[in-house]
């Protein structure tokens, strides 16, 4: 199968085109066509001579993703796309519109190996890692859609299907490609990677001193509770996760975000709020809370508005900055934790 052109770094593309006997500026033209002009295929690269376009078309696939289905939420601002891949696997990605922001939530794996009990992706199990080019292709697809409406992406969250730090190299390679100032030029601080708390990978991420934002899906402030929701906690218990989080903030001087899905009567109690505040004391962090999104494989219910308010107020009373997030796209299973391939 032809190689995915989005897998190549700029240097690798330059080297490949040079082996074809082409002048150096041709690779610059191709890179610009891919990431600035958002050319969907070789045929659209009209600045190139026809023989070169034909060779590119024969040698590469451009993303390898085929949109197979679309669901639009009744909120009028959320779209979920199912992409088929050449090996018959599939992924989902979401575009969310806000007053001043256009955010895409993209996937890093087909399925997920982490097994979080309330997450539809975890319930479907792990299929495979995505290549860097497949991660990039999701972003570019939505960027083209928005450009056609004279609009643009403002934020990227790697919070779709999969655990990004389990697929570390490909995920960060995709971020590097999207961040390239001579290409797509998407600011690193407008990209957020979300992890369930793979402590060694968090430390590695900190050591690389990237500007990409980091979020940790927490959902429990005691090991017993968190392990019942996130099996990964048995391997990386809370002491290790928070030690890695403190290492990250100390090393990078950047704030970390904790994600917390509020489940009625499970993790929305004052005791959990107090336990979280104690663990996070003195840590440069922010807590995002959101009522649980429903999935068919988990019987837990979303916290009521009153319990959400009580939990967030308890955090703030203990000095923790907290934001209550609005659920989006629930009617089409496009919300956090809802992405899964049913068939």
Q: Mark out the alpha helices in 60-167 (DSSP H runs).
A: 120-124, 132-147
The one catalytic residue among 116, 119, 285, 336: 336
Q: Which residue has the tokens 């006997």?
A: 21
Measured CA to CA, the distance from residue 95 to residue 83 in angstroms comes to 13
Q: Answer yes or no: 119 catalytic.
A: no
- Backbone angles phi and psi of 265, in degrees to 5: 75, 5
The one catalytic residue among 22, 92, 134, 163: 92
Q: Are 186 and 178 in contact (CB under 8 A)?
A: yes
Q: Mark out the alpha helices in the chain (DSSP H runs).
A: 10-19, 24-35, 50-59, 120-124, 132-147, 168-179, 199-207, 223-229, 238-252, 270-279, 305-317
Q: CA 277, 280, 283: angle at the middle one, nearest 5?
A: 135
Q: Answer yes or no: 224 catalytic.
A: no
Residues written for the chain: 343
Measured CA to CA, the distance from residue 274 to residue 213 in angstroms comes to 26
Q: Are 136 and 175 in contact (CB under 8 A)?
A: no
Element housing 244 (H / E): helix 238-252
Burial group, residue 233, by CB count within 10 angstroms (0-12, 13-18, 19+): buried
Measured CA to CA, the distance from residue 102 to residue 24 in angstroms comes to 35
Measured CA to CA, the distance from residue 158 to residue 183 in angstroms comes to 20
Q: Which residue has the tokens 């904790």?
A: 258
Q: Which residue has the tokens 């570390």?
A: 168
What the block records as the tokens of 52 is 């070169």
Active site residues: 92, 336
């Amino acid at each position: 199968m032809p190689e995915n052109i989005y897998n190549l770094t700029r240097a690798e593309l330059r080297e490949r085109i040079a082996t074809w006997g082409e002048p150096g500026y041709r690779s610059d033209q191709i890179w610009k066509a891919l990431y600035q002009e958002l050319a969907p295929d070789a045929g659209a690269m009209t600045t190139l001579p026809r023989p070169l376009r034909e060779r590119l078309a024969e040698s590469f696939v451009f993303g390898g993703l085929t949109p197979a289905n679309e669901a639009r939420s009744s909120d009028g601002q959320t779209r979920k796309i199912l992409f088929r891949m050449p090996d018959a696997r599939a992924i989902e990605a979401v575009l969310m519109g806000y007053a001043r922001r256009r955010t895409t939530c993209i996937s890093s794996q087909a399925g997920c190996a982490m097994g979080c009990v309330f997450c539809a992706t975890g319930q479907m199990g792990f299929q495979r890692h995505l290549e860097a080019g497949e991660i990039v292709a999701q972003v570019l697809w939505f960027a083209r859609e928005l450009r056609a409406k004279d609009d643009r992406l403002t934020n990227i969250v790697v919070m779709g299907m999969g655990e990004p730090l389990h697929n570390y190299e490909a995920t960060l390679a995709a971020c590097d490609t999207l961040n390239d100032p001579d290409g797509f030029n998407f600011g690193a601080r407008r990209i957020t990677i979300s992890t369930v708390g793979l402590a060694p990978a968090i430390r590695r991420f900190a050591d690389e001193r990237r500007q990409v934002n980091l979020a940790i899906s927490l959902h429990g402030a005691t090991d017993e509770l968190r392990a019942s929701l996130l099996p990964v906690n048995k391997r990386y218990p809370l002491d290790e996760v928070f030690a890695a989080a403190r290492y990250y903030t100390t090393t990078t001087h950047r704030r970390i975000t904790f994600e917390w899905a509020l489940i009625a009567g499970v993790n929305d109690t004052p005791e959990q709020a107090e336990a979280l505040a104690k663990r996070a004391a003195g840590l440069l962090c922010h807590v995002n809370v959101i009522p649980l999104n429903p999935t068919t494989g988990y019987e837990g219910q979303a916290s009521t508005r009153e319990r959400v308010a009580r939990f967030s107020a308890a955090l703030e009373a203990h000095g923790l900055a907290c934001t209550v997030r609005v659920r989006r796209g629930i009617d089409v299973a496009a919300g956090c934790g809802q992405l899964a391939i049913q068939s």
